[in-house]
Structure formats: structure tokens, C-alpha cells
Amino acid sequence: MDRTFVMVKPDGVARGLIGEVISRLEGKGLKLVAARFERLTEKKVLEQYREHIEKPFFPSLRHFIESGPCFLMVWEGRDAVRVVRRMVGATNPGDAEPGTIRGDLAMDTGRNVIHASDSPASAEREIAIHFNPGEIVTYKRADESALYE
């Protein structure tokens, strides 16, 4: 099984959307294997968003992510990165399809509720930023035989 990193951003936390996000991902059949409620340090924000540091929007993104607590998660499932990215929707909620998390729950690119890894390599890097291997649990969902061939 593959793993991916997902983060409910401060706007999603403030709006009480953690449960909605978890419910959608669990309902799809993904397995939550690690979670933490945390206010990210400057160091973690710089590591998390290192590919954006030189972009003009980075200072406001950094300020926003550091402005409140985030809910950090690791999800597991077949092709987890691709599946979660499709469920999350386009970065700009105005372009996100109805039925996606951003399409249903967000209005603005700067407050788009959720971050999800965009590739297996990013997932591996982002998981390592936020979780030690011992914090990721292994278990079998009761419905796994109904989810996968």
C-alpha cells in the first residue's frame, strides 16, 4: 500500500472541517495511519513549502500556515497520492470540481482548506518532516477484503 501526507490548514481547522475531511477519506476506503494536531514552527513551514520559498506568494502563505493549528495526517491505500489529490481538487477552489473537498468547502486559493502531497516523492518527504516512523501505525481495516481484489 502507498502512503500520502494530508494537512488540514488553519482555515479548515478554524471552520471545524477536520471531521469532514477525515470522513471523506475514510469513506473512500483510505486508512488513517498517523495524525497530529499541531501549530507548525517556522522551520517545518520552510521545509514543507521549500519549493515555493522564492515565489512571490510565499510570505503570505508562510504567515497563514503559521497563524493557527494544522491537523497533520498520513493516509494509506492503493495509489493513495493520486486518489487523495483527485478528492482534494484543484488548488484554486473556483476551478475545483463539485464533489471535491476544495470544490465543496473552499472559496479562495489562499484559504483552500487542505494540503495533499502531489507525488509519491513529495509524500515521502512530507511524511518525514512531520512524523517519525514509530508514529505511523500498521493495522488492518475490517473492510479491506471488500475494498481490494
Q: Could you tell me if residue 145 is inside a domain?
A: no
- Give the domain CATH number at 128: 3.30.70.141
H/E element holding 36? strand 31-38
Q: How many domains does the chain have?
A: 1
Q: Could you tell me if residue 108 is inside a domain?
A: yes
Question: Which residues does the annotation mark as catalytic?
Answer: 115
Please give the residue range of the domain that contains residue 32.
2-39+69-136
pLDDT tens sequence across 36-94:
999 999 999 999 999 999 999 999 999 999 999 999 999 999 999 999 999 999 999 99
Q: Could you tell me if residue 44 is inside a domain?
A: no
Strands of the sheet containing 70-77, edge to edge, are 31-38, 70-77, 2-8, 114-116
Q: Could you tell me if residue 48 is inside a domain?
A: no
φ/ψ of 85, rounded to 5, equals -60, -40
- If you count them, how many residues does the chain have? 149
Q: Could you tell me if residue 73 is inside a domain?
A: yes
